Amino acid sequence: MTQPVPRSIRRLDDPRAPGAIEITWTDGATHAYSPRLLRDACPCATCREKRAEPARPNPLAVLAPEEIAPLAITGMNPVGQYAYSIEFSDGHSSGIYTLDYLRELGG
Ligand SMILES: [Zn+2]
């Protein structure tokens, strides 16, 4: 069987999941992704390193950026035949999400 590819990508219009996108795959599967899920799973080297570090709690309470402005997906562009680069409203855009990885995240 050939690898399923996205047949359509649309922005979900669901107030419970602001900014979420939905991918319908060629095998009929449908998966929803919130901007936060995709951002936290960013596969770029910087984010992978950051996730591997032990969390250092900040002694001062801070407002998380997403409490000031909700995180949004501002762009999603195909990279070759098998991946997308995703751009977020926090300015981060170096993650390349392969189709395999997106399937895994949506599973
Ligand atoms: Zn990243």
Tens-digit pLDDT profile for residues 30-46: 999 999 999 999 999 99
> 3-state class of 84 per DSSP?
strand
Contacts of 51 (CB under 8 A, 6+ apart): none
Tens-digit pLDDT profile for residues 62-100: 787 667 788 999 999 999 999 999 999 999 999 999 999
* Ligand 1 geometric centre to CA of 59 (Å): 25
Q: Does the residue 24 lie in any domain?
A: yes
Using alpha carbons, list the distances in angstroms from residue 53 to 1, 41, 47, 66, 87: 39, 15, 10, 21, 24
Q: Does the residue 86 lie in any domain?
A: yes
Domains of the chain: total: 1
DSSP per position, 49-77: HHHHSPP---SS----HHHHS---EEEEE
Residue 86 belongs to domain spanning: 6-49+70-106
* pLDDT of 14: 85
Using alpha carbons, list the distances in angstroms from residue 51 to 20, 48, 69: 22, 5, 22
* pLDDT of 41: 97
Using alpha carbons, list the distances in angstroms from residue 59 to 63, 76, 77: 13, 36, 39
Q: Does the residue 63 lie in any domain?
A: no
* Ligand 1 geometric centre to CA of 1 (Å): 31
Q: Does the residue 54 lie in any domain?
A: no
- Cα–Cα distance measured from residue 59 to residue 53, given in angstroms and rounded to the nearest whole number: 17
* Ligand 1 geometric centre to CA of 45 (Å): 7
Q: Does the residue 38 lie in any domain?
A: yes
Q: Does the residue 55 lie in any domain?
A: no
Q: Does the residue 12 lie in any domain?
A: yes
Tens-digit pLDDT profile for residues 5-64: 999 999 998 888 889 999 999 999 999 999 999 999 999 999 999 999 887 777 888 787
* pLDDT of 1: 61
* Ligand 1 geometric centre to CA of 43 (Å): 6
CATH of the domain at 16: 3.30.2020.30
